Amino acid sequence: MSAFVAFVLAALLLVPAVLVAIPVHEMGHAAAAYFQGDRSVRYFGYFTLDPRRFLDPLGVIAVFIALVGWGRRVPVQPNRINTMRQRLVHQLGGPAANLLVAIALGAVWRFLTAMGLESTLTLSSGLQADYAALIEKRNLASLRFTKEASVSAQQLLAVCHDCYDALVATGFSKYIIGSMAAPVRWILHMGGLPSDKQGGIADLQTTAEHGHYLAPFARILLSIAYVREKDKSRALQLLTGLRQEFPGNTLFPREIAHLQSSH
């Protein structure tokens, strides 16, 4: 991924924040003024879902440059908002509105997590780690994705003890890192990455036997691990089962023939 593409993707991720955070903040100021007797904010259109009413061009540009921005200030009637307490409530209305929205979005996030969102995050980061390591040969990038997948897997398993598919991420991570040299394992362990080769194989075996969606993928990874460990018989057993389960896949017969011909 080029630096330009990465910048564009990062900028796109900021768009929802701009369209939500700034209008909500300014609408919070308007609501604080309204409930204190200043009805002008309603007449001037500050209770609208149109974000253009609240966005300031320079403030939006600042968000994409410095991650700090602002909106159009909501004017109030001095004869209505004139005491120290009223001005304080008016100023706190914006941050309070942002806080309430953050709490609401946090509740939605927890609900989505309970409904299985973490399994999606685990699978996404895990596949990115595999692709970066096995296809692109980018080991550092693979480790970053591996750590993300492991964190998501642990969060998923904390709320769903029988979501065995999540163990693919932790198992592959443990096995690969556990196969590295001792100094490298120690450094990665200090960075929060587990390094337990046998524990990784055990996680993959659990997914291979009880996984709902990723059992075949776990068996593929297990066969790779067994080949690395010089245990060809177990690798052949897994690949034979995969060949029977997926007869249209020509990869498994080729791998079986390769293993049988090698000594």
Band of pLDDT at residue 238, cut at 50, 70 and 90: very high
Per-chain mean pLDDT for the chain: 80
Burial (CB count within 10 angstroms: exposed 0-12, middle 13-18, buried 19+), residue 39 = exposed
Question: Between these two residues, 3 and 239, which has the higher pLDDT value?
Answer: 239
pLDDT at 199 over 70: yes
pLDDT at 249: 87
For the ranges 13-22, 67-76, 148-157, the lowest mean pLDDT is seen at: 148-157
Can you give the pLDDT at residue 54? Answer: 86
**Taking 60 as the threshold, does the pLDDT of residue 235 lie above it?**
yes
**CB neighbour list of residue 57: distance below 8 Å, 6 or more residues apart:** none
- E strands in 177-224: none
